[in-house]
Amino acid sequence: MSIFLNSTYGVNKLTPKQILSDPILFLAFGFGSGLAKKAPGTMGTLAAIPVYWLFAQTDLLIYSVLTVIATIAGIWICDIAAKKLAVHDFGGIVWDEVAGYLITMWLVPCTWQTVLTGFVLFRIFDILKPWPIKWLDRHVKGGFGIMIDDVLAAVFAGGLLVLLVNYQWIS
């Protein structure tokens, strides 16, 4: 018995092997991080850090294009994954956390302080879901619904992170 994986996922009882071998599900599950038994959203956000680091090696225009592509593609990725699992916004679908972290980090320098603070802020907004995030989470369905609450949580977290950097509370 593994402490990391369930034996099946969703109403359609997909196995970890099925999820990891399906390119859409592999992405939706954050490169496998969403298979974690506990805190899959946090694991998905952790999986986003190397993606962020790679994107951060480019200039702002390329980072922006890649982040927008990841976010828009996420609507489709999450929608297909939810249909394959037969569960709307299944906890293991964490592509929304990957895109959300990229959005959170969009306008700040890549330092260990911003990586850590951005992670914490994004998780706080994603977990607590202050208004209107919670309303969107409850009322918007499909792939767009899976993505939009994390996008808004990321905008809130990213805005606060930009303020922290601009006021030099972190570097």
> How far does CA 171 lie from the centroid of its chain?
24
- 5-49 confidence digits (pLDDT tens): 678 888 889 999 999 999 999 999 999 999 998 999 999 999 999
pTM over the 0.85 mark: yes
Note the pLDDT of residue 1: 47
Note the pLDDT of residue 6: 73
- 52-76 confidence digits (pLDDT tens): 999 999 999 999 999 999 999 999 9
Cα–Cα dist 74/30, whole Å: 11
Q: Which two tokens stand for residue 139?
A: 């009322």
- Max CA pair span of the chain: 49
The arithmetic mean of pLDDT across residues 73-84, rounded, is 98
Burial class (CB in 10 A: 0-12, 13-18, 19+), 80: middle
* Angle subtended at Cα 154 by Cα 106 and Cα 8, rounded to the nearest 5 degrees: 115
Q: At what angle do helices 112-128 and 142-166 cross, to 10 degrees?
A: 130
- 100-125 confidence digits (pLDDT tens): 999 999 999 999 999 999 999 999 99
Q: Which two tokens stand for residue 13?
A: 């009882």
Terminal CA-CA length for the chain: 43
Q: How is residue 77 annotated by DSSP?
A: H
Cβ atoms within 10 Å, residue 64 = 15
Note the pLDDT of residue 3: 47
Note the pLDDT of residue 168: 94
